[in-house]
Structure 1
Amino acid sequence: MKIEKEFDELPIPNSAKEHSYTAFNVNEYSHIKIGKDSKENPSLLIFLPNQKDNFKVSKYKLYNLKITHNLVCEVITKNKREEHVFSLISFSGDDIELKKYFIRICEILIPTLGAQPDKNKITVTVNKFIELFKALKEPPQKTLQGLWTELFLIHQSNNPKKLIKAWHTMPEEKYDFSSEKLRIEVKSSSTGTRVHYFSLEQLNPPSNCKLFVVSILVNVLSGGISIEELVNDISKKLSDDTELIEKLNFITYSTIGSELSKIKNICFDYEAAVESLKIYDSEAIPSIQDIPSNIFEVKFKCSLQNIEPSSETISSLVNNFM
């Protein structure tokens, strides 16, 4: 991460003033800086040239974040000292991993602010910071294995933009990827056998929709590919589509929750996943029939070992997404 590297290279501010930061400008965003305070913690400094955009609420603090508006700060950029009024989103705490996380979130959300940030854009960005840090206090919303296989499918796709647009925004949604007339559900197994959990409702998509199940066998591998590496590589493939990059990262980090440290420590065998990937038409998967109407949430395990896979490929499925 370029921003993380530049932040690490910033010196500690040498000033007697309370609100002093060494800082650097972020690419073409002349009104936005990343700063380092006397405790070596990062801040996102947002300059508001229009005083009419000043905030009534001056500051608040939660989830390792400190939000301060209308604050006069001394900013030292390449030995040049200036004082301006800023809105600040600051990290507070001693956790190195959380500090890196904060810097990454800055990199993701800065495009949301744009070259001319205003009060509304700052408010939206602050709320996203709060939501992403709040997620770190919650247990994971699904297994790391499940998240890895969904990211793996996006990474394997010839058109990751289409898949991310179709990707569920909440893990509890019925299907992993949805378009108007197509659903894709990703199932994984680490046992070496193609046995997966299904819900009866899941195997019964709307009458005008086709459902395909992507089955992947996964293995933990110390020299494999991590979730963080998949996200970074997919982000590169998205080029300058900042909205999709934001969605990719937002879903990933909000899903991981309190297991943030495992995003780069738990790795899976990428090549083995490629070789094992098979696609099944849901109509070929055995299900349970004639369930009484007063019985709900029926779930079961099903082996796909002896079921003929579909001739569909990831590319052909993705091409059918809107």
Structure 2
Amino acid sequence: MNLIELYDTLSLPENDNKVFNAIPIPEFPNFRIAIDFEGNAVLLLSVSKRIKDLSLKNFRLKYLQLEQNLECRIYENDSFILQTFTVVTFRCSDRNLQEYFLRISETLVSTIGQKPTQQQVIDSLKKFVEVFKTLTDSPTNTINGLWAELFLIENSSNPKSVINYWHNLPEEKFDFNAGLERIEVKSSSNFERKHIFSAEQLNPPSDTQVLIASIFLKQHNSGMNIQQLLESISKKVNYDFETTDKLNSIVFRTL
């Protein structure tokens, strides 16, 4: 399942803001990846047995909109169909963020399974939505720091193990924590090894070993971006479900 590739095959609906162009997700006939008239990526979820009095409240975040039990008009296989879906729309034209959304959607679809109940969809969507609640405009230093951490993971001899010790929250004291061994990643775009440390980072427990990875960054048209680093890391861990799920979730929380 590659939702990015599926999404890229879709064209905009013609002059109709109430129609989605959609394509079924292979092996998951109840789900569609779609595009709306604004070019937004849309995930359409359906359940085999709907419970009328059980629903998830509709809402809209900065980039994410969720509408429950919505009757949709879909153009699919050269014809129009009407069907009821839970509609998850990612309202952002930034290509990198769109690809993150589609990657996280792959995890969601795999978690829900082929014939989900209404309750299973709701429970999975609650976790899915939490990932996007912290997604805001990120300052450059946050992007640089994230890139440096991904660069370290991508260049490690055992990316899966390193991801296992990666912080779940950006606010944690060390970027990578394996108990007695810890790594703090610092990045610099001015080619000076001048970094800011917290008191906890400078005074770790006496029985721990802390390594500082100081990485110089310079923007270049032919350099790897965050999306390319993610793809390379995912490939190196053989697209392991739990590992890539954590990888993508941390990226979203950081951004």
Counterpart CA distance in 2 for 1:64 and 1:143 is 19
Q: What displacement does 1:185 show?
A: 1.5
**Corresponding letter in the other structure for 1:96:** S
Residue 94 of structure 2 is matched in structure 1 by 97
- Render the CA deviation track for 1:18-51: whole Å, top value 9, x for unaligned: 8643321223222211123445433211110012
- Is the alpha carbon distance of 1:19 and 1:219 closer, same or farther for their aligned partners in structure 2, counting shifts above 3 Å? closer
Task: Note if 1:211 corresponds to 2:213.
Answer: no
Residue matched to 2:4: 4
Deviation at 1:215, TM superposition (A): 3.0
| Cα drift, residue 245 of structure 1 | 1.3
SS at the partner of 1:151?
A: helix
Alpha-carbon contact 1:155-1:234 (below 8 Å) kept: yes
Report the CA distance between 1:52 and its aligned residue: 3.1
**Please, what TM-score do these two structures have when normalized by structure 2?**
0.80
Displacement after TM superposition at 1:236 (Å): 1.8
1:69 aligns with 2:64: no
SS at match of 2:239: coil
Structural mapping, 1:158-169, within 5 Å? 158-169=157-168
Unaligned runs of 5+ in 2: none
> What is residue 25 of structure 1 aligned with on the other side?
24
Aligned-partner Cα distance in 2 for 1:106–1:168: 22
Kindly tell me: are residues 46 and 142 of structure 1, through their superposed partners in 2, closer, same or farther at Cα, counting changes over 3 Å? same
Change in Cα spacing, 1:112 to 1:148, as seen in structure 2 (3 Å) is same
Secondary structure in 1 matching 2:234: helix
SS in 1 for 2:235: helix
Helix, strand or coil at the partner of 1:50: coil
Q: Deviations over 1:101-150 (max 9, x none)?
A: 54444345332333333334433443455444433335449532222221
Q: Is the 8 A contact 2:2 2:106 kept in 1?
A: no
| Distance in 1 of aligned mates of 2:57 and 2:103 | 25
- The amino acid of 1:31's aligned partner reads N
Say whether 1:149 aligns with 2:159.
no
The answer for the alignment partner of 1:185 in structure 2 is 184
Match of 1:233 in 2: 232
Q: Distance in 2 between the 1:54 and 1:20 partners?
A: 27
Provide structure 1 residue ranges, at least 5 long, that are not aligned to the other structure: 257-322
Structure 1 pair 194–14 and aligned structure 2 pair: CA distance change class (3 A): closer
Distance 2:46 2:22 in 1: 13
Which amino acid in 1 is paired with 2:98?
K
Match runs of 1:261-280 below 5 Å: none
Shift of the 54–229 alpha-carbon distance from structure 1 to 2, 3 Å rule, reads farther
- The change in CA–CA distance for 1:27 and 1:240 in structure 2 (over 3 A counts) is farther
Change (3 A) 1:36 1:198: closer
- 1:53–1:119 contact (8 Å) kept in structure 2: no
- What is the root-mean-square deviation in Å for CA atoms of aligned residues? 3.3
In structure 1, what is the Cα distance between the partners aligned to 2:46 and 2:210? 49
Cα offsets for 1:195-232 (capped at 9, x unmatched): 43333421332344322222333333333222222112
Q: Relative to 1, partners in 2 of residues 1:190 and 1:15: Cα closer, same or farther, differing over 3 Å?
A: closer
